[in-house]
Structure 1
């Protein structure tokens, strides 16, 4: 980054009170590694999830009731009736509309407004800043007080919807224990159950959930149950970043496995039924 010029507004990192350093940073370590890896991880998930959401095939294994989370709830008129379960098929069957278009936008907004993801893509995508002690390319900083970033404050509301969708994913995982002979159990069940457990862990460890449990309590001693809940959620919250990344991986793994079985590429490894 070049030194501030006369026509540049004296704000942000170029304000008179800041050190006048021409270099972008004096750091000598590989500070670009973390943001690059983060961007690659985000890109991998976004590309995979987008392609799969619009493929509109190989999302359901009728024999074992495996439904990928990318298509749940399946409420399009193009959905296999068995995959919809009791959900009404209300969305038109067109190529540009995902079968789970009612839930996917809310899940995207829940993650997009997540406190961890905000910090991650603020640094890596917007470079605000890219790393500690690295000057950012923006002359101004308004925080989350103006449009569009003020919409980040809606995160708590998307949390409630995400929790509801996690209930639906739980239902899908339970239904998948049915097989042609009755109760059934296979590798697909393991993947679905592990995925939904991790999704719940990520959702419950959310900062908004922590606030709902005990954020406004003035006297913990008068609310022992809520205090206990707040304490347990706080423990999970310390690893919220880890769960955020793990669930991106398990979502892709779950969908990929269901796709392989549904397409006949592989057979489900069955233990019972």
Structure 2
């Protein structure tokens, strides 16, 4: 007798085991830590994105990624690297309204993050060999989860935003006297490099470079790119977590400098 579609782990064809799991290890630890890590980042990023304070250091042209690109009349003078596109924004709209929604969708639909929050927040399932609490399962075939299939399109936008962050990092080599270089530049550049690592290690990027090819021998350049991206792809989970940390570190450092709490450690200029 075949199990009904979407019947979940407790359908009639499954073994009748009363216990949720027979595992004796700390299987709950990974989903619990994932919840703590993601919630901490979401709270910090949300507060900072709407704070509208200490996000731009005019002397050194440091702009936090949470406010890039800043294209409204509400932005501080000098922080609009791509010009002013719109007028004053109400407080409930973040200054980086052009990028933040797409970055959120890029991360939400990411293959790794799906696994992370499906297991930790929805407990679907919380770990291998542990029954999930849901009685039915439809996967990503219905709204809203069917939107996950648009990840490949959000990748293209994420790629453009990485270019914007790179441009911001280049402009930050500035001082009141001209060229300048400080600790803030190190942090911005390292953050951008790791963001590129996360973006290029994306499964969609791997598919773009070689996923549709039938004969690698006829496309040696794309095959080479595919092999490099495949190596990065194996580290996608690490990049996913590391970049959350570097985004917070970059924003926090710029906030401290912009607010006058600390002075930037300058090497040149």
Shorter-chain TM-score category? Answer: over 0.9
SS of 1:143's equivalent in the other structure is coil
Matches within 5 A, 1:21-170: 21-90=17-86, 92-170=88-166
Q: Which residue of 2 aligns with 1:6?
A: none
Q: Distance in 1 between matches of 2:207 and 2:255?
A: 38
Contact kept, 8 Å, 1:128 with 1:136, in 2: the verdict is: yes
State whether structure 2 residue 238 is matched by structure 1 residue 242: yes
Contact kept, 8 Å, 2:69 with 2:82, in 1: the verdict is: no
Q: Which residue of 2 aligns with 1:252?
A: 248
SS of 1:110's equivalent in the other structure is helix
Give unpaired runs (5+ residues) of structure 2.
none
Q: Deviations over 1:61-112 (max 9, x none)?
A: 0000000000000112210120002322415321111100111000000000
Q: Distance in 2 between matches of 1:147 and 1:72?
A: 31
RMSD of equivalent CA atoms = 1.2
Q: Distance in 1 between matches of 2:264 and 2:187?
A: 11
Q: Distance in 1 between matches of 2:211 and 2:67?
A: 34
Q: Distance in 1 between matches of 2:45 and 2:81?
A: 23
Contact kept, 8 Å, 2:61 with 2:79, in 1: the verdict is: yes
Cα distance change on mapping 1:106 and 1:10 into 2, 3 Å: closer
Cα distance change on mapping 1:18 and 1:229 into 2, 3 Å: same
Contact kept, 8 Å, 2:6 with 2:138, in 1: the verdict is: no
- The correspondence for 1:198, drawn from 194, 200, 218, is 194
Give unpaired runs (5+ residues) of structure 1.
1-8
Q: Which residue of 2 aligns with 1:171?
A: 167
Cα distance change on mapping 1:197 and 1:53 into 2, 3 Å: same
Normalising by structure 1, we get a TM-score of: 0.95
Q: Distance in 1 between matches of 2:105 and 2:6?
A: 34
